[in-house]
Amino acid sequence: MANLIKSVRGTRDLLPPESERWNDLEATVRTWFRMYGFQEIRTPVIEDLQLFRRSVGEETDIVSKEMFAWEDRARAQSEKRQWLALRPEGTAGVVRAYIEHNMWERPGLQRLYYIGPQFRRERPQKGRYRQFYQIGAEVIGPSSAGSESPAVDAEVLEMLASMLDRIGIKGWTLQLNSVGCAKDLPKYLEVLRAALKDVAPTMCADCQRRAVTNPLRVLDCKVPEDQPKIEKLPRQSDYLDEGCREHFAEVQKILTALKVSFVLNHRLVRGFDYYTRTAFEFTHGALGAQNAIVGGGRYDGLSESLGGPPAPGIGFAIGEDRLVMTLEETRGVSAEHPDVYIAPLGPGMNIQAALLARELRYQMIVVVTGDESFRLKKSLETASKVGASFALIVGENEVASGQFALKNLATGEQVSVARGEIGASVKSFLKSRA
RNA sequence: GUGGGUAUAGUUCAGUGGCAGAACGCCAGACUGUGGCUCUGGAUGUCGUGGGUUCGACCCCCACUACCCACCCCA
């Protein structure tokens, strides 16, 4: 078994029963989205590489070194050369679709959600995969539709908080910050750079590098010795312009009134260039080093930077892999079990079993069948191993008489039931148990 | 991209410079169409890959690869 083909680095298979847990999770998330008027959008996994360069940002780690990208061979010889990429995040594609399909012409705000895989060529570790899944949502639209309102920020955050509660995530923390806007950010960066010029050389190697490439990331440093120095750096909150400051204050006011708990973290920095004003993260302690389960923020200039109309928006992405991981800390895994295992007995009985199975399935009963070649002993053994509630014996005698042996595998009790009654007696038992 | 750890049956893991192991799981049987419990039997490994040391390597050495964890980054 040495040279079998295996799943490639950073990817994995989701097998039952874990896959069922993912489905459960997605089902509750979908209904919760619906309660807030969100509808699903499905965009391609492949996009034009330029999309991510222009939205996430050329200089970010994600775009500069973590993308799976290749040149489209069909066009390589023509003038219209094109580079394609597997999407590393979901917002860019949604905003691209918003622009491409003139969605600003639709009434009101667009409330869109998506569930799907994202790809980043990182070194895998706990809670970090090269193919990972995000549950994301965006609220986007013209300002006239209210897209810039702090009420939208607050609603999105309140939705997330109650969604996490509903899913059963205990002990999350919401961290909140305002990262400024196109008007005030350049000024803050200037001040920060100036301050770092003196301090950075005394800090850790990473900070020295970040002071040049991405000064905001210095705020995110975790090296203990650097902390006092970072605390003395100028704060972004002191450089927000009037509008951003009021906006942020209003978001907090609503959240407080709604009793959504949060902590302000003026050092919260996000990794994409498009974020403006409200930025946030939901973190959870059970995840090790990769402790963010949700990340998001406002992106008021993104549409325009992609050549679209002004369309302020706010969105987030939940790390579904990490969400499931935190769930496993608190809940047990429950497997799916068939209601009835049909044990065909002897030549020709596979056909009879198929007929009966269809009748029962039409009554929404979960049916799995054995094979007529099996000895009854083996069929019953398999039936109890797969966790079926009942075994239904289908032999020549039963077919001839129309009376079938239905065995309760938990109690061992066996009854003879007329063909038309099988579904009803199975269902009444399942109902009594539930 | 950098550092540390790990690699033996389907799974979780023992193990010794001299014949490859356990538990669980899987398959079969304990007289005909009755499971769970029990008993008996069985299969499955190039001991991650490639080199080296040695009379002899699963074990010692080197390289590679993969996985895990951390840095980095982020969901």
User: How confident is residue A142, by pLDDT bands cut at 50, 70 and 90?
Assistant: very high
Pairing of strands A69-71, A83-86: antiparallel
- Strand B contact with A409 (CB < 7 A): yes
Is the pLDDT assigned to residue A79 strictly greater than 80?
no
Which of A17, A293, A40 is CA-nearest to residue A168? Answer: A293
* Distance B42 C1' – A338 CA (angstroms): 30
- Strand B contact with A371 (CB < 7 A): no
* Mean pLDDT calculated for residue range A75-82: 75
CA dist., res. A274 & res. A52, Å (int): 11
Contact criterion met (CB below 8 Å) for A300 and A197: no
Which of A167, A127, A179, A132 is CA-nearest to residue A292? Answer: A127
A301-319 tens-digit pLDDT:
999 999 999 999 999 999 9
Is the pLDDT assigned to residue A105 strictly greater than 60?
yes
- Strand B contact with A116 (CB < 7 A): no
- Strand B contact with A220 (CB < 7 A): yes
Q: Which nucleotides of B are covered by protein (CB under 7 A)?
A: 1-3, 10, 26-29, 33-36, 45-46, 48-49, 66-75
- Percent of chain A whose predicted confidence (pLDDT) is above 90: 65
* Mean pLDDT calculated for residue range A16-45: 94
- pTM for this model (two decimals): 0.90
* Distance B26 C1' – A387 CA (angstroms): 17
The conformational region for residue A127 under phi > 0 = left, psi -120 to 50 = alpha, else beta, is left
* Distance B14 C1' – A18 CA (angstroms): 29
Number of other CB atoms surrounding residue A376 within 10 Å: 16
| Strand B, CB < 7 A, residues 42-81 of A | 60-62, 66
* Distance B57 C1' – A130 CA (angstroms): 38
Residues with Cβ within 8 Å of A235's Cβ and at least 6 positions away in sequence, in order, are A266
A365-378 tens-digit pLDDT:
999 999 999 999 99
Task: List C-alpha distances in Å: A309 to A141, A181, A198, A229, A428.
Answer: 9, 18, 42, 42, 59
Task: Report which residue is nearest nucleotide B47 when distances run from CA to C1'.
Answer: A2
Task: List C-alpha distances in Å: A200 to A203, A212, A215, A233, A342.
Answer: 5, 9, 10, 11, 72
Task: List C-alpha distances in Å: A17 to A21, A43, A328, A338, A383.
Answer: 7, 28, 12, 13, 18
* Mean pLDDT calculated for residue range A266-274: 85
* Distance B35 C1' – A378 CA (angstroms): 8
Supply the mean pLDDT for chain A: 90
Which of A316, A287, A294, A327 is CA-nearest to residue A20? Answer: A327
Q: Which two tokens stand for residue A292?
A: 């963010």
Burial class of A310 by CB neighbour count within 10 A (0 to 12, 13 to 18, 19+): middle
Per-residue exposure over A323-339, b if at least 16 CB sit within 10 Å of its own CB, e if not: bbbbbeeeeeeeeeebb
Extended strands (E) in A252-402: 263-264, 276-284, 292-298, 313-319, 340-345, 367-369, 390-395
